[in-house]
Amino acid sequence: MIYSRFFFGLALGLATFGFHPSAMAAAPRPNVIFILCDDLGYGDVGVFYQNKRAAMKDRSVPFFTTPHIDTMARDGAKLMQHYSGAPVCAPSRGSLLTGLTQGHCNVRDNQFDKALADTHTLGTVMRQAGYSTAAFGKWGLQGGGEKAKKGKKGVKEEEPKSNGVLPESWVAYPTKRGFDDYFGYVRHVDGHFHYPKEDGREVWSNDAEVSADLDKCYTADLFTARAKKWITDQTTAHPEKPFFIYLAYDTPHAKLQNPPCAYPDGGGLKGGVQWTGKAHAMLNTAIGEVDGYMHPDYATATWDDDHDPSTPEVAWPEAQKRYANDVRRIDFCVGDVLQLLTDLKIADNTLVVFTSDNGPSQESYLPNDPYEPTFFRGFGPFDGIKRDTWEGGMREPTLVRWPAGIAAGSVHSQLCGHWDWLSTFADAAGLPAPAASDGVSLLPSLTGKGTQREGIVYIEYFQNGRTPKYAAFDDSHQNRQRGQMQNIYLNGYKGVRYNVQSADDDFEIYDLAKDERELTNLATRSGMAELQAAMKARVLQVRIPNDSAPRPYDKAAVPAVLDAPSGASGLAWSLFAGEWPWIPDFRTLEATKGGESNKVELTMAPSSGAFGASFMGYFHAKQDGEYAFTLDSDTGAMLFLHDIRLIDEPLKSPAGSHSGSVNLKAGWHPMRVLYRHAGAQAARLKLTVQLAGQGDYELSEEVFRSGKIE
């Protein structure tokens, strides 16, 4: 995609950011709302699966409905193959917020409450684009402050709120990661409870802890009402300024609590849930009985449990009724927000995304009444649940509505994931995405304009448990040891490894287009050896090790490309006019000049003004070994080998020398060096390489080759 396809009326100095208005189609930038649910499965949404169960008209097949969410599919787009960053909430949310797969995100595995890295986030990117930004709901990525107490089985879920801890002790508090305003649960464990005051949980409104005033406030209602008020205030006070909202519900997972009353009629500006601002009556739904209201569709629901119509039906189990009730409440909340956009006359140009953080869970805090996702088949047509990297644990029910830009009722099969939204929203906001993002903009696919770039779908995760022994799952998946898990999607196939012991372990290979339940492993079939080798190589070419989440393949040498590149000696370089707030992904911009060079140096740089430069080609490792790369620059530079982000551009103090090391197999490795120059100082860029045990590695012209990198 050439970035100049899109222009969304960026008012903050077009020339500053290297845009060319004459080449762009004028259109206003959309507001953006990202709605994230907690443990809502692919099969838990009507248009993805529950409506199919209803259509069976079989009393032994229970179902529930999501009518308001379904309208998003009617009015917008369904993303049929959209993946979470990981099959559990903390790393999944980390990947979403930073635009990074688990190959690069600093939050991995079960690292709840770990500080999200001080890097580009959805908040920082949209704020830089001139948007007002706000986050509501569950965070869990704050770091700092007190540590959660540990018991023999992990965090004590009944642990009460701690007093005296202030946001300044949380190094990655939302307002420190790009959000102008925040209202919600900071700690991961607080998000397991849905009545903050009654359950002894802290709710933070920017720098104030406010739970004492939140009598009978059910969290889905609470976060919705607060978001509605913010949207209304923002639209009224600053109608010319677009906004970005991250609305992260903490339901339907964990403590399956019912709301206190029926959802108010109407929705929007005058109806639905409303923020009153009155202590101890903060919401118009803070009435009735805590945990007391069940929607009539489920209060007396029965089913044919023994598949015998001649016997009396039995009531749905309590946990199942509560789960359906919680999802229905989210459905009301989504409809309420959508109605507000209509009432404020901003619906047409507001891009709304609805999705979930991972697959459905087994969690229920009801004594002797566990929730089982098999009852409604929340994993949909797949196998696997939360903490599995089978499709049921990773594929999310994802809808996008933007009437001004996306055709109603459209269906998209583009492989994509949480990490793609940072690039997508940057594109919609009129900025080139940071090169540091692993994602690609999905606007070409969603809008039908331009050429959709192929993205990366890569997942890694560790959990020392097993896939449930559900009869609904294939025998090959039941009770499967999880351990170290890894997925790669390549050439139309999915590779999956469970209980990985080394980089040499074979992938199971599935053709999801024909086998969505992953029943037929194609790995041993004729002609699959080359794909198997490519998958083993690819998973080492898209990630960097993280000491906090060790993997058995961390020390494996990264394979070179199979064939020597055909280009001439040296690297292809390109110059780009403009100034950017970060190093952009130059592959989405039009170069003003290009050529070839035997070295990474700026001899072609203009004598004055801001500009960017990229060097692309291949690096030759003459032997196996650990190679340390160092870039020294005046403003900031990055280095990629394959898709490994080996040298990043720090948000703070990007100038100077920055290094990264990688274990390479001998041969040719795709390389990109990116640089941006701003300010009055002289442009400076220098690359040095050292080979472990041998000192400086000579960067002669034979070391580089300029073959094209896709």
Please tell me the distance from the alpha carbon of residue 127 to that of residue 168, in angstroms, as a whole number: 21
Torsion sign across C-alpha atoms 258, 261, 262, 266: negative
Whether residue 179 is predicted with pLDDT greater than 80 in this model: the reply is yes
- 490 and 415 in a single domain? The answer is no
Tens digit of each residue's pLDDT (9 = 90 or more) over 18-72: 333 222 334 589 999 999 999 999 999 999 999 999 999 999 999 999 999 999 9
Where is the domain boundary, 383, 418, 452?
A: 452
Q: In what order do the strands lie in the sheet with 208-209?
A: 208-209, 204-205, 181-184, 132-137, 243-252, 31-38, 350-356, 398-401, 77-79, 410-412
Lookup result for tokens 């696919």? 445
pLDDT digits (tens, 9 = 90+) for 627-636: 999 999 999 9
Q: What percent of the chain has pLDDT over 70?
A: 93
pTM given for the model: 0.94
Residue 624: which CATH number? 3.90.182.10
Give pLDDT, residue 304: 98
Q: What confidence category does residue 167 fall into, taking pLDDT thresholds of 50, 70 and 90? A: confident
When pLDDT is averaged across residues 463-491 and rounded to a whole number, the result is: 97
Domain boundary among 516, 538, 560: 538
Q: Specify whether 317 is located in the same domain as 339.
A: yes
User: Are 192 and 267 members of one domain?
Assistant: yes
Say yes or no: 448 and 464 in one domain: no
In this prediction, residues 600-624 reach a mean pLDDT of: 93
Residue 5 reports pLDDT greater than 60:
no
40 within some domain: yes
Return the pLDDT at 16. Answer: 36
Q: pLDDT category, 700, cuts 50, 70, 90? A: confident
Same-domain pairing of 374 and 471: no
3-state helix, strand, coil in the chain (%, to 5): 20, 25, 55
Does 273 map to a domain?
Answer: yes
Same domain, yes or no: 336 and 226: yes
Per-residue confidence band for 150, with pLDDT thresholds at 50, 70 and 90: very low
What per-residue confidence (pLDDT) applies to 565?
A: 78
In a domain, 550, yes or no: no
| 656 and 532, same domain (yes or no) | no
SS3 label, residue 572: strand
Which tens digits make up the pLDDT trace of 492-551?
A: 999 999 999 999 999 999 999 999 999 999 999 999 999 999 999 999 999 999 999 999
Distances (CA, A) of 455 to 82, 424, 490, 542: 12, 12, 10, 12
Would you say 28 and 243 are in contact if contact means Cβ atoms under 8 Å apart?
no
Q: Are 138 and 96 in contact (CB under 8 A)?
A: no
Would you state the structure tokens that stand for residue 341, as one six-digit string? 């956009």
Looking from the CA of 314 toward its CB, the CA atoms found within 13 Å total 9
What the block records as the tokens of 126 is 């949209």
Statement to judge: residues 374 and 467 lie in one domain: no
Neighbours of 417 (CB within 10 A): 29
Q: Which residues touch 272 (CB under 8 Å, ≥6 apart)? A: 224, 228, 263, 264, 265, 266, 332, 335, 336, 339, 340
Residues 318-361: tens digit of each pLDDT: 999 999 999 999 999 999 999 999 999 999 999 999 999 999 99
Backbone phi, then psi, for 342, in 5-degree steps?
A: -65, -45
Range of the domain at 469: 459-538
pLDDT number for residue 608: 85
User: Would you say residue 560 lies in a domain?
Assistant: no
- The verdict on residue 566 lying in a domain is no
On average, the pLDDT of the chain sits at 92
CA distance 607 to 609: 7
The answer on 606 and 497 residing in a single domain is no
Q: Of 452, 467, 500, which one is at a domain's C-terminal end?
A: 452
Q: Do residue 149 and residue 165 come from a single domain? A: yes
Question: What's the total number of domains in the chain?
Answer: 3
Position 100 pLDDT exceeds 90: yes
Is the bond preceding residue 432 a cis peptide, omega within 30 degrees? Answer: no
- Is 444 found in the same domain as 345? yes
**In a domain? residue 553:** no
- DSSP secondary-structure letter at 120? -
| Lowest mean pLDDT across 93-107, 148-162, 455-469 | 148-162
Q: Is residue 552 part of a domain?
A: no
pLDDT of residue 161: 52
Condensed to tens digits (0 to 9), the pLDDT of residues 409-437 reads 999 999 999 999 999 999 999 999 999 99
CATH of the domain at 205: 3.40.720.10
Q: Please tell me whether residues 134 and 242 are part of one structural domain.
A: yes
pLDDT of residue 653: 86
Residue 564 belongs to some domain of the structure: no
Contact 352, 247 (CB under 8 A): no
Q: Return the amino acid letter for 38.
A: D
HSE-CB of 360 using CA atoms within 13 angstroms:
29
Greater pLDDT, 66 or 12:
66
Query: What's the pLDDT at 539?
Result: 98
